Amino acid sequence: MSRDARYWRLKAPLALLLAMGLAHPGRASTLARSARAVRIQPSPDSSRIVLEFAEAPAYQHFSLKGPERLVIDLEGVLPDGALTDIATRLSPQDPYIASLRVGLNRPNVTRLVIELKTAARAEIFPLKPAGEYAHRVVIDLKGDARPEPVAPAAPVAKSPPTPAATPAPAPTPEPRRLVTIAIDAGHGGEDPGARGARGSLEKTITLSIARRVRAQIEQTNTMRAVMIREGDYFIPLHERVNKARRAHADIFVSIHADAFYKASAKGSSVFVLSVQGGSSAAARWLAKRENEADLIGGTRIDVKDIYVRQSIVSMSTDAQILDSGKLASRVLEEIGGINDLHKAVVESANFAVLKAPDFPSILIETAFISNPEEERKLNDEVHQERIATAIVAGLSRYLATNPPLHRPDKTARSV
C-alpha cells in the first residue's frame, strides 16, 4: 500500500470523528454516551417511550405537521446501542406511534423522530435514578381527554305533606342494576413493584390475579368489572383513582403482593385509608413503598390532580372509611380461609390509591412476594384462582347487606 493510501485510510475515520465532535479532547467524556435501554409501553389510551442512560442527557423537542411528528434532539448522545433497534420494538397496535427513526442530526446531537398516527399531547420529562433504573427521559403521548368533574349529589326534593285522609302510596322498588367494581392491578410497565427471590415481579402476579377476579365477577348477575390496568403499562396513582371515578365505580379494589425487608414476613392483609398514619409500623412501611410507585414508574412531579386535592381536604372521610372497613372485613375473612393472615384485623394506612371520597376502597396485599414459600404460591394458577374466589366472595357478602344507591344518571362506562 502506498504512503498516500495509508494516509487517507487513517484520515477518513478521523474526519468522521471530527464531524461528530468525538475527536475533541475536551468533549470526549460528554460524547461517549449511549442509551443503555429503550422501552416502548403502549396502553389503550397512551403511548410511552423510555430512554435510559448512565448519565442524564440534555434534550430539546418540537412538533412538526404534515404528517404529525414529534422530534427530540438528544445532546451528547450517540445513535448506537439500544437506540439502533428502537423501531423494532414498536407494536403495530400502538395507539399513537406510526413509526420511529433515529440518526445523527448534527455533531453531538442524535435526533429521534416519532411519526404519529394522530395528533397527541406530548409530555417529556426526566427521571432521576430510582429502583433498578438509571437516568431516564420519558416521552408520554396522550389524547386530550381530561378527567370529568364529578358533580355533587343533587338535593332530594321534598314532596308536600300528604293529607291525613289520603293513604300514602306504596314505595316504588328501586330498579336493580349491576354494581361496578374497579379492579386495580398494582404497579405495571416501568414500575415492576416488588421482586421475589426467584425473580417474580409483583406487576405480573397482580395482573394475573386481577384478570381472574374480573372473570369471576362477570359470572355473577349482580356485579360487573372494570379493569384499571389491562396490560403491562404504567398508570400514575392519581390516575388510577380518576379512572375508577370516570367509570362510576361503586367499589375500588387494589391488588398487590409486596415485599418486606424480612424474608420471614408472610400472610395476607387488607387495608383501608388512614389519613393520620398507619395502624402499625409494617402498614406505614408498606404504604410508603406503594406511594413511591410514581417515583419509579415515572410521572411529572408538578402534576396536581383536582380529585386528589379535594379528597385530602374535603372528602367525606368518615363515611368512606366506615364503608371501606365493612368491605375489608368481609374480604379479609374470606382470604383467611385460603391463606395465612399477616394480621387478623383490617389495617389502615395512608395509601394514595384509596383516597377517592365517593366509594369504598380497599387495598389487598395477597401475600409477601419476598417470602420464598409465598412467592411459589403466588405463581401457582390454582392458588391465584382461590385468591380471586375469596375476593369475589367477600365483595358479594358486603353487597348483600350494603347495596349501593340507585344512580339512574350514572351508567358505568369503560375507562
List, run by run, the mean pLDDT of 10-residue segments along the chain (415 residues).
Answer: 46 41 41 84 93 94 94 94 92 95 93 95 93 93 60 40 52 71 95 92 97 97 96 91 94 93 88 75 66 63 47 57 94 96 91 87 95 96 98 97 70 52
Q: Within this chain, do residues 394 and 323 fall inside the same structural domain, yes or no?
A: yes
Characterize 392-406 residue by residue with b for buried, 16 or more Cβ atoms within 10 angstroms of its Cβ, and e for exposed: bbbbbbbbeeeeeee
Q: Is residue 34 part of a domain?
A: yes
Its domain, for residue 389, covers 179-401
Domain of 192, CATH number, reads: 3.40.630.40
Domain of 57, CATH number, reads: 2.60.40.3500
Q: How many CB atoms lie within 10 A of CB 258?
A: 24
Characterize 169-192 residue by residue with b for buried, 16 or more Cβ atoms within 10 angstroms of its Cβ, and e for exposed: eeeeeeeebebbbbbbbbbbbbbb
Q: Within this chain, do residues 236 and 364 fall inside the same structural domain, yes or no?
A: yes
Backbone phi, then psi, for 382, in 5-degree steps?
-65, -45
Q: Within this chain, do residues 331 and 276 fall inside the same structural domain, yes or no?
A: yes
CB contact at 8 A, 367 and 377: yes
Q: Within this chain, do residues 388 and 253 fall inside the same structural domain, yes or no?
A: yes
Residue whose C-alpha cell is 398516527? 117
CA pair distance 33, 333, nearest whole angstrom: 54
Q: Is residue 7 part of a domain?
A: no
Q: Within this chain, do residues 396 and 309 fall inside the same structural domain, yes or no?
A: yes
pLDDT given at position 415: 58
Beta-strand runs (E) in 319-396: 347-349, 361-365
Q: Is residue 153 part of a domain?
A: no
Q: What is the CA radius of gyration of the chain?
A: 26
Q: Within this chain, do residues 205 and 94 fall inside the same structural domain, yes or no?
A: no
Q: Within this chain, do residues 242 and 95 fall inside the same structural domain, yes or no?
A: no
Q: Within this chain, do residues 228 and 366 fall inside the same structural domain, yes or no?
A: yes
Q: Is residue 138 part of a domain?
A: yes
Distances (CA, A) of 77 to 20, 60, 100, 109, 110: 11, 13, 17, 6, 6
Q: Within this chain, do residues 136 and 208 fall inside the same structural domain, yes or no?
A: no
Q: Is residue 236 part of a domain?
A: yes
> What length is written for the chain?
415
CA pair distance 150, 147, nearest whole angstrom: 9
Q: Within this chain, do residues 221 and 115 fall inside the same structural domain, yes or no?
A: no
Residue whose C-alpha cell is 414500575? 191
Q: Within this chain, do residues 201 and 123 fall inside the same structural domain, yes or no?
A: no
Count structural domains, the chain. Answer: 2
Q: Is residue 260 part of a domain?
A: yes
Q: Is residue 50 part of a domain?
A: yes
* Coil, helix or strand at residue 54: coil
Q: Within this chain, do residues 183 and 135 fall inside the same structural domain, yes or no?
A: no
Tell which of 96, 118, 142 closes a domain.
142
